[in-house]
Amino acid sequence: MDIEQAKDMKFIFVCPSQNQPFESADFKIDENRGVTTDEAGHKTLDATVVLTEPCPFCGRKHVYHASELSCPFGGQE
């Protein structure tokens, strides 16, 4: 993956107060503790993802755990 692609990468977030999904590339990864493997052998990234732009639904800057997101970090097959 080159830098341009990484910059344009969007994740799907869900607003926890409106329960509405939205796509955003405005986020940063915080508290990255690396990839962990659970008892079933599923890998997840143990990190916190913080919005850098307000949520389009409620205007707050939500914080998510990487495992909550529909993204390459989720360890989906």
Q: By CB under 5 A, tell whether 71 contacts Zn ion.
A: no
* Residue the block writes with tokens 């916190």: 48
Q: Which tokens belong to 17? A: 């107060």
Q: By CB under 5 A, tell whether 14 contacts Zn ion.
A: no
Site stretch for Zn ion (CB under 5 A), options 14-22, 34-42, 45-53, 68-76:
14-22
Left if phi > 0, otherwise alpha if psi is -120 to 50, otherwise beta: which for 31? left
Number of residues that bind Zn ion (CB under 5 A): 4
Q: By CB under 5 A, tell whether 22 contacts Zn ion.
A: no
Q: By CB under 5 A, tell whether 15 contacts Zn ion.
A: yes
Where helices occur in the chain by DSSP H, the ranges are 3-8
